[in-house]
Amino acid sequence: MAAPTDHDPAFDDLSRELYWAQERASRARMDTAEVRDRLHDLSMQMRADEKVIIPQGEGNLASTSRWRRQIKYRLFRVARPISWRYDRLIADHAELTTSLAERLMAAEAELARLRAAVEPDTDGADVDVDAAPKDPA
C-alpha cells in the first residue's frame, strides 16, 4: 500500500473527519493547566506552519475538479507570504498568553497555600503566611 500524501483525496477526507470527530473540552470547563497546554500546542502549530508553503490541514485548497484545485493552489502560493507574517504573530501571541497562564497557575497555587494557612485558624490569632506549608507525612 502506498503512503498517503497531501494530495490523496481519501486521506484528506479521513483527516478532516478525524479532526471534527475529536472530543473538544468546553473552554468554560478547562482549568488553567489545560488552557496553557492548548495555547502551547497552538503556538507550536503556528511555528510549524510559518515554515511551510502549505500549512497542515489547509482545507481551502480541496476541490473535486483538478483545474479548480490547481487554481486554488496557485492563488494560495501567491498570497502565502502575506499569511506567513500572521502565522508568526499568532504564534507570538499564543506564547505570551501561555506565559500569562503559567503566571496565573503560580498565583492560584499561592492563593491556595494562603487559604490553607488561614482556613484552620478560626480563633482570629495571627497566622504566619510566609511560613512554608507543613509536610503531611
In the prediction, which pLDDT does 137 show? Answer: 47
- Under the banding of pLDDT at 50, 70 and 90, the label for residue 23 is low
Q: Are 98 and 39 in contact (CB under 8 A)?
A: yes
Report the SS3 class of residue 37.
Answer: helix
pTM of the model: 0.55
Q: Are 87 and 46 in contact (CB under 8 A)?
A: yes
Side-chain-side CA neighbours of residue 5 (13 Å): 3
Determine the average pLDDT of the residues in 52-59: 77
Higher pLDDT, 128 or 19: 19
- What is the tens place of the pLDDT at every residue in 66-116? 888 888 888 888 888 887 788 888 889 999 999 999 999 999 999 999 999
